Amino acid sequence: MPDRRHSSRRGRILHAILVLPLAGLLVAADPYAANRERMVREQIESRGIHGAELLRVLRATPRHLFVPIASRPMAYDDHAVPIGYGATISQPYIVALMTDLLAPRKTDRVLEIGTGSGYQAAVLSQLALQVYTIEIVPELAESAQSVLSDLGYRNVSVRQGDGYKGWPEQAPFHGIMLTAAPPEVPQVLIDELANGGRLVAPVGLGWKQELVLIEKDANGRLRRRSAGEVLFVPMRSGGP
Ligand code: SAH
């Protein structure tokens, strides 16, 4: 008995010697790991989003690397964060809610309008086959492209352009997500939605928009429902 106790204490000490520095290294490598875990538990799971794959992806995506350096300490807070050029990275819960509504599958090709920081595209890319994303501000398109490729998200194509024009060369898409608000869902984008596909968008002018889910059935018929009120930057027109 005394021997076993002794060896188990030695085991614990050995465990501490081996594991503690390793944990320290991991924390040093990702100082925001605890913030991210808290974000998923307190802002997303607690509000009713439980899809295991989506939660896994949110736990794995380094949101702080998608915001300006000065804003990193607030990257996991329960609100949107400005990223320059009048754009914001959406509140974590809204990213989760819209992704949950879109429900991308591993075989889906997805179009996003409003690349912004690239964070929503990174989340989608881990759940879908390929993500195409359009950003109207050249500087944002460029910086999102470089963050996404530095972090190794290889199945995302970023295009600088006007989302009102869609991406005809790659259409149709199984999923389309708008992260800037048009006054009404552009017909071009409804036309680029495949049969059986889903489109999620904030719709409306001004300070009160409706989050809309449009489903196109196998026969091309549309069904539309509202998923609550949201606040997004307006989708601007890039002209003719
Ligand atoms: N999905 C982003 C959040 C984007 S904020 C993220 O995860 O960070 C909305 C973005 O839509 C802004 O970057 C804005 O410049 C862009 N935008 C506005 N109008 C647009 C348009 N017509 N076409 C493409 N992008 C547009």
Averaged pLDDT for residues 13-29: 56
Q: Which of 154, 155, 196, 141 is nearest to 172 (CA)?
A: 196
Helix axes 92-102, 52-60, angle to 10 degrees: 140
Beta carbon of 89 within 6 Å of any ligand 1 atom: yes
CATH of the domain at 115: 3.40.50.150
Residue span of the structural domain in which 169 resides? 33-230
Pairing of strands 193-203, 130-135: unpaired
Distance 170 CA to ligand 1 centre (A): 19
Q: Is residue 19 part of a domain?
A: no
Residue 66's nearest CA partner among 51, 82, 44, 54 is: 82
pLDDT value at 62 more than 50: yes
Q: What is the pLDDT of residue 2?
A: 43
The answer to whether residue 20 is domain-embedded is no
User: Does 184 map to a domain?
Assistant: yes
- Which segment of 16-30, 54-68, 153-167 scores lowest on mean pLDDT? 16-30
Q: Which of 174, 182, 183 is nearest to 136 (CA)?
A: 182
Q: 3-state DSSP call for residue 38?
A: helix
In a domain, 92, yes or no: yes
Residue 128, ligand 1, Cβ within 6 A = no
Which residues, other chains included, contact 142 with Cβ-Cβ below 8 Å and sequence gap of 6+? 160
Number of domains the chain is built from: 1
Rounded-to-10 torsion of CA 58, 49, 233, 213: 120
The answer as to whether 212 is a domain residue is: yes
| Catalytic hit among 7, 90, 143, 226 | 90
Position 218 in a domain: yes
Span 202-230, mean pLDDT?
95
pLDDT value at residue 11: 62
Return the percent helix, strand and coil in the chain, to nearest 5: 40, 25, 35
Q: Is residue 112 part of a domain?
A: yes
- 90 catalytically annotated: yes
In a domain, 238, yes or no: no
Q: What is the pLDDT of residues 165-211, one digit of tens each?
A: 999 999 999 999 999 999 999 999 999 999 999 999 999 998 789 99
pTM exceeding the 0.85 threshold for the entire prediction: yes
Chain mean pLDDT for the chain:
92
8 Å CB contact between 120 and 61: no
Q: Which long-range contacts (CB under 8 A, 24 or more apart) does 37-41 make?
A: 38/76, 39/63, 39/76, 39/78, 39/92
